[in-house]
Chains A and B, each alone.
Chain A
Amino acid sequence: MTALFDRDLLRGSLDTMVLSILTGRERYGYEIQQELRRASGGRIEIKAGTLYPLLHKLETSGFVAARWDDSTGRDRKWYTITDAGRQRLTVAAREWADYVRCVGGLLGPILGNDTPGAIPEAG
């Protein structure tokens, strides 16, 4: 049984993860929560009380767009990623990779040499 990741560790990257989940197709809140759990192998749980304010913040910032639809039998608010959201995601993903490399480099000696950070930066 794998443990959940620490909430403090996740805090800065939840919006990036939500955006990445929306790149596939249009989704609604409950589905995003489930998908995040599934895609992380059960290690990332986003509380509904965190998810919805986050979605509304992304909507306000223009990174996602939303519409109401009840044709699935349930009244749901469906979210899609916008062009601005895709751009934001690309930037955030690069920054994240950079961060991983940097922290990996710092912690490499503790963890052994098979961490990504131990690989010297190309170029």
Chain B
Amino acid sequence: MSEQEFESYLGLLSRFLRLDARQRDNIRRELRAHLEEAIDEQVADGVPREIAIQNALEDFGDAAELAARFSKIGWQKRWIMRGTAVAASIGIVALWSVFSGNEPGARVIAQDASANRTSLHDTADRARGIPLGENAIDEQRLTIDFKDIGFSDAISYLAEQTDNNFHVFWQELEQNGIDRDQPISMSLRNVTLDQTLDLLLREASVDVPISYSIKNGIVLISTRSLQVSPSLETRFYEVRDLIPDWEPNLMTNPRNAEAKNYKHHMQVITDAIHRFVVPDSWLVNGGHGDISDVHGVLLIRQTPDVHRKVVLMLERMRELQPILSDNNGQQSAALGVNYAGR
């Protein structure tokens, strides 16, 4: 009678589990091992077997409730989440954006917690009335371990891990022979969403390449070529932290040495972007993008894609700044400490 109870409990649990056969068998196998051990131990202590079985089953509780708890995890398990997304603390980038469309005025692209905002932003910029937002798209680092994950599940995983809105034009993709269940295998460590999407979409493409763009903070995935008429947007980039000896009133006398130093550094940053970030895309090289600087803030008009690369470029420059300053004999000690702490 009680032996039967034991088996029927496991059977019942199995039936309630909304998981595949292999996962169901694994759970059943593990729980059976536990039950057997718990029963044997009680019997060894002199508890009658029937009572021991009842005690052990009680410890597991209601089969349907337990199955529901397992099934909830199983649902997440489809993504084989081995990695965890780590938000890197880079901050101070991609401030606000003006869309080139018909929208009047400015709009903030992606709002995020203002965790890394420095006091420089808060006081100096606010005083001048510049609206600020932050773009988190490039600031997260992901670890990906997909093993034969459906394409749509891979997208859902990225959306969840990076806390971004994604919209996939499935009809369009399916018309181009792309299957939302097609298996994807990828293993990446410490990559940006940008890099992950580039590879993932290339993996999933059949004949027509799949591309993505970011509009109003939503990641759009489609097979339409997004290069035909690039939607330019203007963003502000705070770079005062890249200028040694920056002071708010530095520009009061444009002829003094500090002002020259400032001009020199802004020129170095601008040149580096022109020469190393998609060179052909800039107005100076016959493209469409443009840069100007206002008091340590770069105003850049570019496509979202190039903006993302600008962010990465500035990130690299921030990392290298201590070394560069060292060569100039400036600020070496203080920055050396910061660098070591990174």
Answer whether A and B are interacting partners.
yes
Residues in chain A within 8 A of chain B (CB atoms): 28-30, 47-49, 52-53, 56-57, 60-62, 68, 74-77, 84
**C-alpha gap A74/B39 in the complex (Å):** 14
Write out the residue numbers on chain A whose beta carbons fall within 8 Å of the beta carbon of B38: 30, 48
Write out the residue numbers on chain A whose beta carbons fall within 8 Å of the beta carbon of B247: none
Interchain CB contact under 8 A, B76 and A47: no
**C-alpha gap A77/B83 in the complex (Å):** 22
Closest Cβ neighbor of B63 among chain A residues: A49
Interchain CB contact under 8 A, B66 and A84: no
Tell me, yes or no, whether B280 is within 8 Å of chain A by CB. no
**C-alpha gap A60/B60 in the complex (Å):** 21
Interchain CB contact under 8 A, B60 and A49: yes
Interchain CB contact under 8 A, B61 and A30: no
Which of B27-35, B122-130, B184-192, B216-224 binds A? B27-35
Interchain CB contact under 8 A, A56 and B61: no
For the complex of A and B, list the 6 residue pairs with the smallest distance between their C-beta atoms, beginning with the closest.
Answer: A49-B61, A53-B69, A48-B59, A49-B60, A62-B82, A77-B30
Closest Cβ neighbor of B32 among chain A residues: A75
Tell me, yes or no, whether B198 is within 8 Å of chain A by CB. no
Write out the residue numbers on chain A whose beta carbons fall within 8 Å of the beta carbon of B73: 53, 56-57, 60
Tell me, yes or no, whether B70 is within 8 Å of chain A by CB. yes
Chain B positions 48-106 with a Cβ under 8 Å from a chain A Cβ = 56, 59-62, 65-66, 69-70, 72-73, 76-77, 81-84
A37 to chain B, nearest CB (A): 12
**C-alpha gap A96/B84 in the complex (Å):** 21
11 extra A-B contacts, CB within 8 A, seeds A48-B38, A76-B33: A29-B33, A30-B34, A30-B38, A47-B61, A49-B60, A49-B61, A49-B66, A52-B27, A52-B30, A52-B34, A77-B29
Given the interface pairs A56-B70, A57-B73, A84-B84, the reply to whether A49 lies near B59 with Cβ below 8 Å is yes
Which residue of the partner chain, among B59, B81, B83, contacts A47 with CB atoms under 8 Å? B59
Write out the residue numbers on chain A whose beta carbons fall within 8 Å of the beta carbon of B65: 49
**C-alpha gap A74/B27 in the complex (Å):** 16
Question: What band does the interface of chain B fall in when counting residues whose beta carbon is under 8 Å from A?
Answer: 20 to 34
**C-alpha gap A48/B59 in the complex (Å):** 5
B58 to chain A, nearest CB (A): 9
Given the interface pairs A53-B73, A56-B70, A77-B33, the reply to whether A47 lies near B84 with Cβ below 8 Å is no
Closest Cβ neighbor of B75 among chain A residues: A60
17 contacts between A and B (CB under 8 A): A29-B30, A30-B37, A47-B59, A47-B60, A47-B61, A48-B38, A48-B56, A48-B59, A49-B61, A49-B62, A52-B31, A53-B66, A53-B70, A60-B77, A61-B81, A77-B29, A77-B33
Write out the residue numbers on chain A whose beta carbons fall within 8 Å of the beta carbon of B77: 60
Write out the residue numbers on chain A whose beta carbons fall within 8 Å of the beta carbon of B26: 77
**C-alpha gap A60/B69 in the complex (Å):** 13
**C-alpha gap A108/B143 in the complex (Å):** 43
Interchain CB contact under 8 A, A62 and B69: no
Which residue of the partner chain, among A60, A76, A77, contacts B76 with CB atoms under 8 Å? A60
Tell me, yes or no, whether B7 is within 8 Å of chain A by CB. no
**C-alpha gap A47/B59 in the complex (Å):** 5
Tell me, yes or no, whether B36 is within 8 Å of chain A by CB. yes
- Interface centre among B34, B36, B38, B60, by most A CB within 10 Å? B34
B105 to chain A, nearest CB (A): 43
Write out the residue numbers on chain A whose beta carbons fall within 8 Å of the beta carbon of B76: 60
Given the interface pairs A60-B77, A62-B82, the reply to whether A74 lies near B59 with Cβ below 8 Å is no
Chain B positions 11-44 with a Cβ under 8 Å from a chain A Cβ = 26-27, 29-31, 33-34, 36-38
**C-alpha gap A57/B72 in the complex (Å):** 9
B36 to chain A, nearest CB (A): 7
